Structures are given as C-alpha cells and as structure tokens.
Structure 1
Amino acid sequence: MQNGLMVLHGNRLETLTELVADWLQREPLSPLETETFLVQSNGMAQWLKLQLADALGISAGFQFQMPARFLWGAYRTVLGEDQVPRTSPFDKSRLLWRLYRLLPTLLNSEHFGPLRHFLADDVDGRKRHQLAERLADLFDAYQMYRADWLDDWENGNDRLRKDQDRDTFDEFPTSQLWQAHLWRALLADMDSSKRGLSRSAIHRDFIAALTLQKEQGTSPAGLPRRLIIFGISALPQQALEALAALSQHCQILMLVQNPCQHYWADIVEDKQLLRRQLDNRKRHVTTMPENRVNPLLAAWGKQGRDFIGLLYDHDDPDSYRSVFHNQIDLFEAIEPQSVLQQLQQDILDLEPLPKPDQRPPLRAGSASPADG
C-alpha cells in the first residue's frame, strides 16, 4: 500500500462517497482489518455508513472518530502511553477548575487589572466560574491554533507572532498582556513533570518521533495502515501537520468538499492570506481579474478559507495523480434549474454575482425557495 497524503477535492459529497467506495474495492485492507475514518460529526458518520452500505452492499469493519480524539490516541501510540496520559492536564475540563482555584490568588497583581475589574462584584463565585470556563476555552484553542504564541509566552516573550513560520509580529495590546502572564501562572502552578504535557508540546515531540523513525526506516506499531478523512470542512494547522507526519508511515486519503474549483483562499482582504505565495503545486490556481470575486464565497468563513489554503502547504498532487488516472479534482458543473443552483454554479466558477437583469434565464417552472 502506497503511503502518503492524497487530497481530492469535489463540490458534491455524493461524488466523494462514490470515490471512497471505489477505492475501498480497488485497494482493500485485510479481511479482519479495521478501516478508520475521521469525520466532523456523528451525523456525518451515520450518513456515510448508509451511503457505503448502499454502494458496497455492507457497512462493516468501519471505525469513525473525531479528529481531536484520534490524534490524541496517535500521540499515545507513537510516544508511549507512559509518556502521554489518557487525559491531558491541559484539557478544558481540567484547566477550568485549575483556573477557578488560581484566579483569586492573582487578582492583586498589576498584570490582571481587567480580570480584577470583571470579578469585583462576584459574591457567590458564579462570575469566577464563568470566567474560568471562558479562559479554559481560550487556552484550549490556543493550543490547537496558536501554539507559537504559548511557546513565546512561556519563554517570557510577550508578543503575537503573525505567522508561525516567520519572525513578524502584531502589536500586543497592553489591555491583553494579562493572557501571557496567566499562561505562565498556569505553568508555574503545575508540577514540573506535567508542564510538558500541553497539546502543543506533545505535538512537537510527536512530529520529531515520526520524522526520526522515517529516517531510521522504521514505523511505530499500532497505527492504522490507512486513514480516510471525509467531508471535514476545517482543521487547524497543528492537525494538518500531524496528519502529514503520519502519512510518512500510512496511507491517508482526504476527501474535501470544496465549493469552488479555483484557488480561493486569498480572495478576501486578509493581509496574511494575500502574502501567501502560490506555487506550481497549487493545482487550482487560476489568473483572475481582481474584481472577479464572489461575495458569498468571500464571506464563507475565515477558518474554512484558511483550511483550504493550509491544505496546499501539505499537498503534493504529482506524487499520487497517476494513482487516480489524473482525476483528482472531482468538480461537477450543473445546468442551473433554480436560483439556488445558479448561485452554486457561480461559486464553483468563482464568478461574481450577476446583476438581476444579467441573470441567465431559467427553465419555466423552476422556482426555488431563493425566488421568494
């Protein structure tokens, strides 16, 4: 089985499902081997099970997991269960109560003026619990999306790195500096043996271990031989880095529902994305006039746009294009029969919304909810 990361884009889940079913038949695992899928919700898992049952005649031997849970299990498999606990001391549920206990001891410090002001009239501890819960969510997100900020803060560098791979920084507002001080306070409150168990720290060790084993020609035991990632609309850079490292030792097939057949991650007014330098590996790159922007696509959501952009940093289609007979982009145009289908086609082609008097005529009797 060919290892590596293979990313296929399509605008219809049904088409992506057909490809998965065909791939499972063409490249089957051993009879008693479990096929592992990563999906973004239990609803998607149930839908995909039914679709595969219809296509294959049976839906058995499939394991469906959420990305975060799978990756934490992969960390334990690669680094050892004695090195990675079943539950991280930096999980939200544990951070919440640590913060709840720690906050009153910090409020007299000059660094925590905004928090002191918020908790000034907290008589029964409800506001403290609410604040601890919000802060636990915040630091959990930072571990996944901005681990570089936490690394800087841990080392006493109170700054906001713009790009994880560049030494350029945004201004750190004085009113928000308490975040860096609070992160250091959290680390100081932990035993030294637990400080290296944040998701970001374990992630670094995980990447290093997989890279070393690849250089040594070995592979960690216990990982699935194949991983199918289906219909996930967004993943943080840390998760994509982990999957790219895993793909050195197993086959990863990623099916991405992408509404547009052109590269669209930089069509919004975002300086970081506009600085992204496109290269020949970005297979959807098309030269477009500056005003050829679909406003619905531009408003799709920054997280989803970033995900599409990050995929190209890890994708090398030339390494697997021949395996799929050069059919790695599964975009399907339709003949619009309704206003909704016309909008979908405009997004697919990266066309701006036409003026009302410039819309192409639709077939009679093709009214849709969008027609009012």
Structure 2
Amino acid sequence: MTQPSDRDLAAGFIVIHGNQSETLRDLLCDWMRAHPLAPLENEVILVQSNGIAQWLTLSLASDPAPGTDDGTPDGMDDAGSGPAGTAPAGTPPGASGLGHGLGIAAALDIQLPSRFIWQAYRAVLGDDAVPERAPFGKELLTWRLMRMLPGLLHQEVFAPLRRFLEDDALLRRRHQLAAQLADLFDQYQVYRADWLADWADGHDVLRTPGAVVPAEALDAGSVAAGEGGRSGLTGAGAGLDADGHASFMSSSQNLHAQTMRQGMPSGVRPVPEESLWQPALWRALLADGDVADIDRNRAAVHERFMAACADPARARPQRLPRRVLVFGIS
C-alpha cells in the first residue's frame, strides 16, 4: 500500500545512549508521538525480553501530559509547539517534565530480535527459500539435543559432556545442558557463522573477526597439524562449567604459539582440545537434520540474505517495516 506523502520517513539511523532506562523509555514515547506512522501501519519495536515488552506496553498506554485529551498542555497550541504533546521548540526530548504516555497502546508489534530477523530473511529471500520456523532455532535445537546426546556420549570427543551428565536419573542435567547448548549454537549462528561454516567443512579452527582465509589454506593447516599429532592446546580451553555453560577461555599468547607450530594460516587458531566437542556436535546436528535443512541454518541463510541486500537493484520488500525501533538494556 502506498503511504501518504505527509507520512514519508527520511532514511537514517539514530543511536541514543543513556544510563536511565526510564529516560530512554520517555524519549521513545516522545519520538513515536512526534513522528507517527500511517493510521493502519504497525509500529515495530524490538526488545530483549518479554518483560521489557510488557513494561513498554504499559508505558505507552499510560496517560499523556496533563491538560487536553490529546496530550497538549493547556495554553500551548499546535502551531507554536510542534506535534501535539511535545515540548516547545528547543526543549530536549524527555526533559519537559510532562507526561510521556500515548494514552493507548495499539498497532504495536513488539518482538524479540531473533524472530524479527528470521521474518526479514523470509521477506527478502522468499517463503520457499526460508521455512516459517528456523530448523536450527533455539527451541527446536533444545529438543533435538535432548534426543541426540545419549547416542553421542560414547565418543571420546564428548567426554566433557559425558562427565557433566553423570548421575542424571531424572534427566534434569540433560535438559539443562541441551538448553545451554541450543543457546550457544543459536548465538554462533548470529555472531560466528564463519566458525560454523569451517566446522561443517571438517576444519576445527577459530577464525579471528574479519579474517579472510581460503579453504586451501585451512586444508594445508590441518595437514600440518596432523603431522604433529592431535590439534588443539592441551589445558588451554574450557569445556563446561558447573552450570553447563561452554566457552573458549584460552590464553591468546599460548594459542598464537601453538598456531605457529602447527603451520596454521594467519587469522586462524585451532579449537582448544577441551572444546573439540563443539565442532563435532555441530556436524552431528547437521547430519541429523534433513538435507534441505543443512542450507537453512541461520548462518547459511544470513549469508544469502546479506548478498541479496547488497544488490542495488533490489527494492525493499513490502513485508519489511519502514521503521524499526530497538529498545535494549545492557
């Protein structure tokens, strides 16, 4: 649907930081009031949790500034103050001391980032190329791992997981571990897709951010590592902590020295020995899924999405919102 000319939005990117969440919330309300969308257009807001979503909804539904019903204080007309309910020109947003609610919370689409990003993938690449639910999403991965873990623990590479799951008659530890690992791989798909691509190809390595390494160089590095025995750094990696969290906590100096000895290319280091179960588990997940799903994990879909977005001839799909507001607390 073509938007009215008076509702056109200028392209741009605005980042506002603050140390008080209430001030940022008030600023968000003021911005939405000053720059409304078309009457039948939903406002898309991304939040980090359902609790923040509920808090924002209640804030938007709260009463506006005292005075008239539209939020314009008594004695202030629209011509002199700008959009209804905002402070006079020159007053910083959030500093007027007036009410900040909109009086109603309607036409809102408040989502978690992962859901929005997956919907963006489908809008750009098409529903046929991207399934409605991510085959390697956190929710599905949790239950797949619950099913798969018992059949993997006999392999020596999964010894850290086997030790963690000892004395687990009620399967509480298995479910806890499956949830943690699903979250770990979900984050890898977003932030370290290059690691997952290398692991899927059988290369147990970690690229440094921005490193561009040809596959031939990785193959040569693997051969060099194999000549000296098992790759990795004994005692340098972290397997699982007491809560089932996995991480890489290796000494950068030791890893650099190990990389040089193994002939690995620059910008790449071997996966620590205690964490070799992570690439092995990723390959097991790929082997467990349907063939069509292998190219539908978030990392692979993201690469195709970025390539499509880089095409200057491609117009914005109608299913993507014109504006996205992100409210986060770090």
Other structure's SS at 2:13 match: strand
Other structure's SS at 2:15 match: strand
Q: Give the superposition deviation at 1:199.
A: 1.4
CA RMSD of aligned residues (A): 2.8
Q: Which one of 152, 172, 196 corresponds to residue 150 of structure 1?
A: 196
The match for 1:222 is 319
Q: Distance in 1 between matches of 2:290 and 2:161?
A: 25
Q: Distance in 2 between matches of 1:109 and 1:158?
A: 17
Counterpart check, 1:184 vs 2:283: yes
Other structure's SS at 2:16 match: strand
Q: Distance in 2 between matches of 1:36 and 1:114?
A: 42
- Larger relative contact order (CA 8 Å, sep ≥ 6): 1
The match for 1:138 is 184
Q: Give the superposition deviation at 1:128.
A: 4.5
Q: Give the superposition deviation at 1:124.
A: 6.9
The match for 1:199 is 298
1:36–1:64 Cα contact (<8 Å) kept = yes
1:232-284 per-residue CA deviation (whole Å, 9 max, x = no partner) reads 02xxxxxxxxxxxxxxxxxxxxxxxxxxxxxxxxxxxxxxxxxxxxxxxxxxx
Q: Distance in 1 between matches of 2:151 and 2:275?
A: 19
After TM superposition, list the pairs within 5 Å mapping 1:75-154 onto structure 2. Answer: 75-119=121-165, 127-154=173-200
AA aligned opposite 1:185: A
Structure 1: unaligned runs, 5 residues or longer: 234-303, 305-372
Residues 1:127 and 1:51: Cα distance change in structure 2 (over 3 Å): closer
After TM superposition, list the pairs within 5 Å mapping 1:298-313 onto structure 2. Answer: 304=330
Aligned length: 231
Residues 1:45 and 1:133: Cα distance change in structure 2 (over 3 Å): closer
Amino-acid identity (%):
52
Structure 2: unaligned runs, 5 residues or longer: 1-8, 65-99, 213-265
Q: Distance in 2 between matches of 1:115 and 1:217?
A: 46
Q: Which one of 2, 7, 13 corresponds to residue 15 of structure 2?
A: 7
After TM superposition, list the pairs within 5 Å mapping 1:1-372 onto structure 2. Answer: 1-52=9-60, 53=62, 54=64, 55=100, 56-119=102-165, 127-165=173-211, 168-212=267-311, 215-216=312-313, 218-230=315-327, 232-233=328-329, 304=330
Other structure's SS at 1:11 match: coil
Q: Distance in 2 between matches of 1:35 and 1:155?
A: 41
1:167-226 per-residue CA deviation (whole Å, 9 max, x = no partner) reads 5245522121121112112112222111011111112222222222xx005111211111
Q: Distance in 2 between matches of 1:226 and 1:134?
A: 33
2:125–2:308 Cα contact (<8 Å) kept = yes
Segment drifting more, 117-126 vs 39-48: 117-126
1:294-327 per-residue CA deviation (whole Å, 9 max, x = no partner) reads xxxxxxxxxx4xxxxxxxxxxxxxxxxxxxxxxx
Residues 1:108 and 1:20: Cα distance change in structure 2 (over 3 Å): closer
Q: Which has the larger radius of gyration?
A: 2
Residues 1:101 and 1:217: Cα distance change in structure 2 (over 3 Å): closer
Q: Give the superposition deviation at 1:156.
A: 1.6
1:148–1:164 Cα contact (<8 Å) kept = no
Q: Distance in 1 between matches of 2:143 and 2:173?
A: 13
1:105-148 per-residue CA deviation (whole Å, 9 max, x = no partner) reads 43443433333445566667665445434332332232233222
Residues 1:10 and 1:110: Cα distance change in structure 2 (over 3 Å): closer
